[in-house]
Chain A
Amino acid sequence: MNAVARTVAAVPVRTSVQTWEAIAGLLAPAGSPERDRLDAVTNIAAILITAEYTRQAPIVIMPASGRRVRIRTAHGMDAIDALDGEIPLAASPCAEPGWTMSLPCGIDDIDEIRDALSGHPGIDVRDLTDGITVEETVSASGTAAWSVNYDEMERP
């Protein structure tokens, strides 16, 4: 199953918090219960964006059904260039319950961020130099274990 990739303009086009708000806006409608889950991790995600971990490796969203979504942030001149190229997703992958998310993080911050996310089930953090292993629902009939193509994960 293919992944959908998007790039969101970050600093200096947006502050770190505004960047996360833009990402959350791609993933779930404002005011929805699932959007509240995204809003609840704003401070944590903003720190990862400020550190540019989300430039180096993608935020990966596994919807309850449908294609995986990868979101990177663009910074500096790349952010200015990326702003005009931002494309909404065809569907909101976090609109329905059952989605999970993996946030990239540098090794110096990963213990702190993992602790901070302990109260946010379904949202995890990974070493940005690692790939991820995904178990994804592919149909109503069952689940399949996936192995991730790391080269594909690292593509812009």
Chain B
Amino acid sequence: MTTAVHVNTSTYATTHVATNMLGSIRSIIKGSGLNPDLLRDQWAALEHGIATWLSSRHLATVTLEVYHPGKQPTDLVGRFDFTINYGYYPGGDGDLWLDPDTVAYAIRKNGSYPARCQYRIVIDNTPGHPEIPGWTATTYRSTAGFTRHVVGTALGGGSLGAGLSYYTRSSR
């Protein structure tokens, strides 16, 4: 089921996408059997960062990176990406919408992670983004040997759309 409302303010679209994208990440974490404590403890910082960089139009991707500490040769076990499209609705008509079924589908197709897996949130910004205290530079874990699955656009607002994809280990 998709829910939508109509407004004509890009600020509202930014807030809608920022908060509900984080809510969707929380749904993925809980639905995948991961411990939600870390996300909860970082909620304010994450929401502030996402909203700020969406507003400045530097936010490219918000990633949930799942890893299994100590696993070799790579500890990556999975990943979910929300990729921002600033021109999803050219001239955005103001609809604010969220499709939890898209998120639920990705969770169901991906399956659960082992209990010892951990996660982190990684944000990819385009150059020139404003700095926010508390955020540090990092690099993604390699996705070599993984297959990316595109699910579709999970939420949007104004001209913004956030497409969801996930990675699973490729069959040998």
Contact = CB atoms under 8 A, between A and B. Distances in A.
Interface in A63-103: 76-77, 80
A51 B23 contact: yes
Contact of B48 (A13, A17, A108): A17
B36 A50 contact: no
Interface of A is mostly: helix
Interface in B88-137: 96
A12 B48 contact: no
A47 interface: yes
A111 to B, nearest CB: 11
Interface string A38-51: 00001110110011
A46 B12 CA distance: 17
Q: Which applies to chain B's interface (DSSP): helix, strand, loop or mixed?
A: helix
A44 to B, nearest CB: 7
B12 A13 contact: yes
A152 interface: no
Contact of A43 (B3, B16, B43): B43
B6 A12 contact: no
18 contacts: A11-B16, A12-B7, A12-B16, A12-B96, A13-B12, A17-B43, A17-B47, A43-B40, A43-B41, A43-B42, A47-B23, A76-B96, A77-B5, A77-B6, A77-B7, A109-B30, A112-B37, A116-B37
